[in-house]
A and B are shown apart, each in its own frame.
Chain A
Amino acid sequence: MTVVGDSGLPRDAGRRDALHHRERLRKKITEQLKQGIGEEDIIASGPEKKVRVPVKGTKRWQFIFDRGRQQGVGQGDAEPGDVLGPGGKAPGRGEAGLEPGEELYEVWLDMADVEEMLFSELELPRLKPKSESEIESSRTVYDEIARKGPKLDKKATLRENLLRNAKRGHISLGGIEKSDLRYLTYRDVPKPRSRAVIFLAMDVSGSMDSNRKRMARLFFYWCVQFLRSRYDQTEIVFVSHTTEAREVTEEEFFNRVESGGTKVSSAFEVIGEIQSHRYPAADWNVYVLHVSDGDNFSADNQRTLELIQSLARVCSLVGYLEVDPGGLTRAHKLSLFYEEEGGRIEGFVHSRASEDRELWPALKLFFAKDDVEAAVR
């Protein structure tokens, strides 16, 4: 018979495993976000920019008997015929009933976290330093520990305190002295001088019905979010087109409703013009993304391809996404034409999405990380 004041276990083991658990949860959420990237509630996330993500796939699987047909035994003064609510309480109490083995998570996430999770997998491809940039920038990184500095590092301080106590023979925290204090100090990391401009071109013609427009807007929404969060010095040029194209503001781009025919070449003409005047390739990394339903005026296809060819010579990427929910035939679609006639134009990437869940793979295709493994995944 012994009583000891020690568990024989590492003290932080519980927290450590809980962290592993949360990390796994985070990964599952990320996977799920990719599936639900088209869901409106992620975008319409309200003023606080928080989204509610129900996490599936965290059930603890096991064979159980058919729920709802099981019998059981309970305790209390209820009489035969009485109906009791979840947990045996009288019905009406709003308590979430857990299914067997289920871990129920509905996580409220900051939009910033969501973006961090998703966008860490994306990158502007083939971004090169451009010589004549007037913006020579650096960013400030807090990652060095010193005895003096602007920002107290609690973890390092506790570590010092523990170390000092241990040297005196008692392994515990406490009695923090000034000499224990550790600070984070900053250093400046120069940023590569690489400027980029990205042209986003959207087909707003009559054949783009509301669902197609919605998918196109979703795709561009995530493009813009990605660029703004990761490449704050990127310039974005918005172009919308029917049979004619013009540069528009961001607000117009996302809200403009038009009708009429489609001449895709018009968009590339405008882009080519703006690019050569305002963003010379010597100074800028240039990217072009075009989204359409692919119903182009067929006599225009050849001209479009020629323009793409000449743009691709100065661009790091020309991308085309065809949004075609429920499409039955690709007979007259632009994607088929590109496939047959486009040959291998260096720097030209095209893809199709027939439902929301295919938007994420498209984003990943266009913004593939340069390392080969990520590109093929």
Chain B
Amino acid sequence: MSGYTLADLQDVDERCREIAGDELGFEVPEVIYHLVAPEEVYFAAANGLPARYSSARWGAQFDDAYGRYQRGQERIYELIFNTRPVHAYLMEGNSLVAQTLVIAHCLGHGYVFENNEWLGAVDREIMSRVISAAERIADYMGAHGRDQVEDFLDACHAIAIHQPQAQLIRKAVAPDPEHRTRPFDVLFPDEVTAERERVAQERIALRSRFPREPEDDLLSFIEANARGLEDWQRDVISIVHTEQSYFLPQMRTKILNEGAAVLMHQEVCQRLFMPTDRYLEYEQLNSVVMAPHPARVNPYNIGINILREIMRIASEPDEEERELWSWAGEVQPFDQVRTVLAAYDDEGLLREFLTPKVCELSHLYAFQHLEQDPRRIRVSSREADAIREVLIAQHSTLGIPHVQIVDADFRGRGELLIEHIHDGMGLDEEYARGTLGQIARLWGKPCTVKTIKGRETDQDAWFTGHPDGRSERHVTTPR
């Protein structure tokens, strides 16, 4: 160990808590810290949850990230899980200053876990289920062969993210067709009869449609309705679904959560280290955490800049800000931060507080991928409105295309039809076809998606995947 003991870390935790609670007013629930080897930190990070079922998928992520760590290309400082109690991992070999930063940082996360409304959807008692799921999947691997279970898991993982909570915007459900009587109906008896007939037909067509309403939850629908699945397969589907649902609300609050954590470590460490020589070491680490990412947004960076702006508006608003926010200049900065941390998700946070000032502080720009070489980007704007539009669109959908099962008896052959509720942009063909192959594997029959071609909203595109992995493209509605 690097010149400190577990007891030293315990002292650090207590001092950080005193500052957070007594001086800043943040009551933080218990956090259990595990001081472990880098390898274990990376493995827990690859899993997403500790003690999760064994899978080559985690192995691949671990191989990749731990390899980068060993080559000195990246370093995880901290890893925290939103369970009750909260568990956090500290990496052996980090200096005491680094561990102090991480512990203070975790207190910010702990506060958000406990108080944010959006995170109320997280099952914080999930660990007992995770452990039992790991045992069951190990059993299935023993009984049916590891490869078969891994292949099935791959298929589940491909679509696990498509759950109702991933998409907050719903399409209104079409009402049942109804025949309305009109004043002059009596004059046109034939037309009225024909109309009644048509409405009745439509109602029958609608009633026999399955699912009755478009289904956002792909895995649950397949688990309940696919024919020919064995019991273990239905169980695996539901395990993957449950564990994925733990992650979704946290994806929705990433910027908010990291902003809170950075705010906490900055406030606590400034009080602890200023004006000692350890402050320099702390400040170096802090700047690494805050470093901007070139082609994406560092959530730590934008999160803290937004929260700091909120604090400034609370204490020193200009005239315009006074008009915009009733609390501007009327409230204690940390109180306003707590209000925001309790009530907002990233989309709301960006919608309200991604001001031109924040865009400037975080050096944000909007860009477009080059069509001829998607790996390269062209900067399109530095205007706050343009940036906000793109960033909000990303965060309202979590970057996940919205797809729904609209017909489970497509072409009258029990095939699945999935519709992409596009927002002006179609699905990537290669990935759509690969994914449909995975869905077809679960469903046992071909699956088709309806989307659009690129950005051309008037050009439908259809892709079909088959259980054996083949796939094709159609230019018109497949018959």
Residues of A bordering B, CB below 8 Å: 1-9, 11, 13-24, 27, 59-89, 91, 97, 100-101, 103
Cβ-defined contact, B370 with A66, below 8 A: no
- Could you name 17 residue pairs across A and B whose Cβ atoms are closer than 8 Å? A2-B32, A22-B63, A61-B437, A62-B159, A64-B431, A65-B427, A72-B366, A73-B297, A74-B296, A74-B364, A74-B379, A80-B365, A80-B380, A84-B295, A85-B376, A97-B375, A100-B431
Cβ-defined contact, B297 with A20, below 8 A: no
The CB with the most chain B CB atoms within 10 A, among A71, A77, A78, is that of: A71
Smallest Cβ-Cβ distance to B67: which chain A residue: A18
Please measure, in the bound complex, the distance between the C-alpha atom of A113 and the C-alpha atom of B308, giving whole angstroms.
58
Chain B residues, Cβ within 8 Å of A77: 363
Prevailing SS type, chain B contact patch:
mixed
Chain A residues, Cβ within 8 Å of B296: 72-75, 88
Residues of B bordering A, CB below 8 Å: 6, 9-10, 13-14, 17, 30-37, 39-40, 42-44, 46, 50-51, 54-60, 62-64, 66, 87, 89-90, 146-147, 150, 154, 157-159, 161-162, 292-298, 301, 362-382, 387, 390-391, 394, 399-401, 403, 420, 425-429, 431-432, 434-435, 437-438, 449, 454-455
CB distance from B71 to the nearest CB of A (A): 14
Please measure, in the bound complex, the distance between the C-alpha atom of A81 and the C-alpha atom of B367, giving whole angstroms.
9
Chain A residues, Cβ within 8 Å of B379: 74, 78-84
Chain A residues, Cβ within 8 Å of B13: 1, 3
Given contacts A64-B431, A75-B297, contact A17 B371 (CB under 8 A): no
Smallest Cβ-Cβ distance to A100: which chain B residue: B431
Across the A-B interface, give the 10 residue pairs with the lowest CB-CB distance, nearest first.
A88-B294, A14-B43, A21-B59, A17-B59, A88-B295, A75-B292, A97-B375, A68-B374, A61-B434, A21-B56
Cβ-defined contact, A18 with B62, below 8 A: yes
Cβ-defined contact, A7 with B9, below 8 A: no
Given contacts A13-B43, A75-B301, contact A83 B378 (CB under 8 A): yes
Given contacts A14-B46, A21-B63, contact A66 B378 (CB under 8 A): no
Report the number of A-B residue pairs with Cβ-Cβ less than 8 Å. Answer: 255
Please measure, in the bound complex, the distance between the C-alpha atom of A2 and the C-alpha atom of B46, giving whole angstroms.
24
Cβ-defined contact, B31 with A89, below 8 A: no
Smallest Cβ-Cβ distance to A89: which chain B residue: B294
Prevailing SS type, chain A contact patch:
loop
**Extra inter-chain contacts (13) besides given A9-B50, A65-B426, CB under 8 Å:** A4-B6, A9-B44, A14-B62, A63-B403, A63-B432, A68-B369, A70-B425, A71-B380, A72-B390, A75-B363, A80-B380, A81-B378, A82-B378
Please measure, in the bound complex, the distance between the C-alpha atom of A15 and the C-alpha atom of B70, giving whole angstroms.
14
Cβ-defined contact, A72 with B147, below 8 A: no
Chain A residues, Cβ within 8 Å of B146: 20
CB distance from B385 to the nearest CB of A (A): 12
CB distance from B185 to the nearest CB of A (A): 48
CB distance from B108 to the nearest CB of A (A): 15
Please measure, in the bound complex, the distance between the C-alpha atom of A6 and the C-alpha atom of B362, giving whole angstroms.
38
Cβ-defined contact, A62 with B435, below 8 A: yes
Please measure, in the bound complex, the distance between the C-alpha atom of A180 and the C-alpha atom of B366, giving whole angstroms.
63
Our pick among B30, B50, B387, B427 for the contact of A73 (Cβ within 8 Å) is B387
Cβ-defined contact, B34 with A7, below 8 A: yes
Given contacts A64-B428, A73-B390, contact A20 B150 (CB under 8 A): yes
Chain B residues, Cβ within 8 Å of A6: 34, 36
Chain A residues, Cβ within 8 Å of B42: 14
Given contacts A14-B42, A75-B298, contact A3 B6 (CB under 8 A): yes
Cβ-defined contact, A67 with B35, below 8 A: no
Please measure, in the bound complex, the distance between the C-alpha atom of A190 and the C-alpha atom of B409, giving whole angstroms.
63
